[in-house]
Chain A
Amino acid sequence: MKILVLISNVPDTTTKVKFKDNEFDKTGVQWIINPWDELALTRALELKKAAAGKIEKVAVAMVAEKDGEPTIRKALAMGADEAIRVDTKPKDSYSVAAELAEALKDQDFDLILVGLESSDYNGLSVGAMLAELMGINSVSAVSGIDLDGDKLIVKREIDGGYEKLDVQMPFVAVVQKGIAIVPLIPNMRGIMQAKRKPINVVAAQNIEPLVEMVEYELPKPKPPVKLVETAEELINLLHIEAKVL
């Protein structure tokens, strides 16, 4: 079985977001693997380790220009075997999914994992879009994946609970909370090995985005908190002023 994890390169989640000339200001920003994708990769590597020999390889793919490579190296240091980089700046969900669909045309991954959303533009769409463009199955709200013999068992969150599924491969799984608890931290050996692992750079198709962000704004400063002394005052404010209790 071959697993591919889609990763994106995002600013560290504690970054103070600023804009300059109507673009995200990258000055001094630390870049990381999108946290959800990092957990997806962690799970893929856990499966590979647990079921020795069943999983041939775990690869990662990213749509990014060359400046995304340090983040790809981090994924390789975590333990991914190889990487694909589609050489273009990611624009919108559609163009990213379409570039990936093209780059993966001749590949034979059985399972493609991707995190619920990227912590920057919060698009939430690349995984299921890619499945549609590739004509394969997709499952969203995936909170667990296990191997049972040669079969994958997918845990999906549903309204008020969860279900365990058998999904026909190949498929895209959009993963969320529960998929893995703590991201795998690369060790020294992993970091050294990562330097020699291949990153296959694929030329982009230059697919036009369908959505464009034209203007950014920071949230308006909100009025200061109204502090009160007693529980009674608080309940009364919520009842009389806010009218919510």
Chain B
Amino acid sequence: MILAYIQNFNGKFKKASYEIASYASAVAKMAGTSVLGVVLGSVAEDDIKGLEKYGVEKLIHIENANLTPFDPKVYSHVIAQIAEKNDITGFVFTNNNEGRAIAPRIAARFKAGIVSAVTQLPDSLSPLTITKKVFTGKAFAKTVVKSDKFVLTLFQNSYGLVENPVSMSVESMDIDVPAPAIKVLEQNVDTSGKIPLTEAELVVSGGRGMKGPEYWGPLEEFASLIGAATACSRPVADEGWRPASEHVGQTGKIIAPTVYFALGISGAIQHLGGVSNSKYIVAINIDKDAPIFEAADYGIVGDVHKLLPQMIEAYKKMKAAEN
């Protein structure tokens, strides 16, 4: 079976949870086997039920007080015990903070070859062969796993949701859950309801060409109008024009939205390293020779300050015509 670690986001599932189920289901199909989902901690019942739509035939759901706070050593110990009692050939995790913390521990424990941040299905199985990006997107490598078991971490938003309705059995298991070695002293979570950058389908990002923090109003208005998250380039974050949490690029967040709007961003190679997994890149820059136009799919050579209000109007007009 393929073990899918389905992440619990504070008692709920998010797109990433269903995406990993979808992906596991496709890998299992290639391997002629089925998906064993693993969920740790309590999750809304409707959310659990929703996994049926994405091909999870068997779900092991463990609830235990020792599962909070998140301790990667405890989590990997629990997942390993589940794997040992089932015939697991492959593990799949989401390549986010939590998945990246657990997956390598599982790989080391089972001496399973790990391929991280994959964006597609394996080319073939036995041996598992998969193509992944290397050199921060500057090349692709065909990667072969030589061990019997494999571990893959899936780049968030790269596979999407694929429905494959099945009927699912939910079981618990008698499992040893050691006490965590981590104590939370303080927690700070944004409850503004803003879309997290790494999950956003649409991202509107500003660079130095925006000229200063006081010009961000129209950018934010456009983003909120189309339901996008906001981001920025490194110099913008370094100058303090925008919070560091918005910085995308090789040394910031690495994202894969459907559309990435690069406004006043020249497109340095380090920046592109963080956004090259976007499906479409839309660039607006005053400099027609800016490297961003080599990476972009659509673009306008022009002044972003003039164009943003026009884009807001054009979008409103397009939506009005639609209704």
Could you list which residues of chain A lie within 8 angstroms of chain B, going by C-beta atoms? 11, 13-15, 17, 19, 35-36, 92-94, 97-98, 117, 119-133, 136-141, 153, 156-168, 171, 174, 177-178, 208-219, 222-223, 225-232, 234-239, 242, 244-245
Within 8 A of A (CB), among B230-248: 244, 247
CB distance from B201 to the nearest CB of A (A): 8
List chain A residues, Cβ under 8 A from B289: none
Closest to A211 in B: B113
Do B108 and A129 touch (CB < 8 A)?
yes
How many angstroms from the CA of A245 to the CA of B139 in the assembled complex? 30
Do A210 and B182 touch (CB < 8 A)?
no
Query: Beyond A217-B140, A231-B310, A237-B298, is A162–B188 a contact (Cβ under 8 Å)?
Result: yes
Q: Taking the complex as formed, is B107 at the interface, i.e. its CB lies under 8 A from any CB of chain A?
A: yes
How many angstroms from the CA of A15 to the CA of B106 in the assembled complex? 33
Could you list which residues of chain B lie within 8 angstroms of chain A, going by C-beta atoms? 9-10, 69-73, 76, 95, 97, 100-109, 111-117, 129, 131-147, 153, 181-191, 196, 202, 226, 244, 247, 250-253, 258-259, 269-270, 273, 279-280, 282-283, 293-301, 307, 310-311, 313-315, 317-318
Query: Beyond A165-B183, A245-B226, is A122–B134 a contact (Cβ under 8 Å)?
Result: yes
Do A19 and B139 touch (CB < 8 A)?
yes
Do A214 and B142 touch (CB < 8 A)?
yes
List chain B residues, Cβ under 8 A from A14: 269-270
How many angstroms from the CA of A158 to the CA of B183 in the assembled complex? 14
Do A160 and B196 touch (CB < 8 A)?
yes
Closest to A217 in B: B140
How many angstroms from the CA of A105 to the CA of B25 in the assembled complex? 40
Do B259 and A238 touch (CB < 8 A)?
yes
How many angstroms from the CA of A81 to the CA of B259 in the assembled complex? 47
How many angstroms from the CA of A127 to the CA of B114 in the assembled complex? 13
Do B258 and A94 touch (CB < 8 A)?
no
Instruction: Select B9's contact among A136, A140, A159, A171, beta carbons within 8 Å.
Output: A159
Do A124 and B105 touch (CB < 8 A)?
no
CB distance from B102 to the nearest CB of A (A): 8
How many angstroms from the CA of A36 to the CA of B145 in the assembled complex? 26
Do B116 and A122 touch (CB < 8 A)?
yes
How many angstroms from the CA of A222 to the CA of B109 in the assembled complex? 41
How many angstroms from the CA of A156 to the CA of B182 in the assembled complex? 11
How many angstroms from the CA of A28 to the CA of B45 in the assembled complex? 58
Do B297 and A13 touch (CB < 8 A)?
no
Query: Beyond A93-B104, A138-B73, A163-B187, is A125–B282 a contact (Cβ under 8 Å)?
Result: no
Q: Is the interface of A mostly helix, strand, loop or mixed?
A: mixed
Q: Is the interface of B mostly helix, strand, loop or mixed?
A: mixed
CB distance from A34 to the nearest CB of B (A): 11
Closest to A141 in B: B97
Do B140 and A231 touch (CB < 8 A)?
no
How many angstroms from the CA of A162 to the CA of B295 in the assembled complex? 33
List chain A residues, Cβ under 8 A from B105: 128-129, 131-132, 138
Do A97 and B318 touch (CB < 8 A)?
no
CB distance from A45 to the nearest CB of B (A): 19
CB distance from B194 to the nearest CB of A (A): 8
Instruction: Select B300's contact among A164, A174, A227, beta carbons within 8 Å.
Output: A227
List chain A residues, Cβ under 8 A from B135: 11, 15, 17, 119-122
Instruction: Select B108's contact among A133, A162, A211, beta carbons within 8 Å.
Output: A133
How many angstroms from the CA of A17 to the CA of B273 in the assembled complex? 13
Query: Beyond A119-B136, A125-B116, is A159–B196 a contact (Cβ under 8 Å)?
Result: yes
List chain B residues, Cβ under 8 A from A159: 9-10, 97, 189, 196
Closest to A223 in B: B297
Query: Beyond A163-B186, A168-B182, A245-B259, is A213–B104 a contact (Cβ under 8 Å)?
Result: no
Do A231 and B313 touch (CB < 8 A)?
yes
Do B182 and A139 touch (CB < 8 A)?
yes
Closest to A165 in B: B182
Do B116 and A138 touch (CB < 8 A)?
no
The list of the 7 closest CB pairs from A to B, nearest first, reads A210-B113, A231-B310, A140-B101, A161-B189, A128-B104, A125-B104, A141-B97
How many angstroms from the CA of A36 to the CA of B115 in the assembled complex? 20
How many angstroms from the CA of A136 to the CA of B192 in the assembled complex? 36
Do B114 and A94 touch (CB < 8 A)?
yes
How many angstroms from the CA of A244 to the CA of B203 in the assembled complex? 12
Query: Beyond A119-B250, A139-B72, A245-B226, is A94–B184 a contact (Cβ under 8 Å)?
Result: no
How many angstroms from the CA of A229 to the CA of B288 in the assembled complex? 12
Do A124 and B117 touch (CB < 8 A)?
yes
Max chain A CB contacts within 10 Å: which of B70, B135, B140, B282?
A: B135
How many angstroms from the CA of A126 to the CA of B114 in the assembled complex? 10
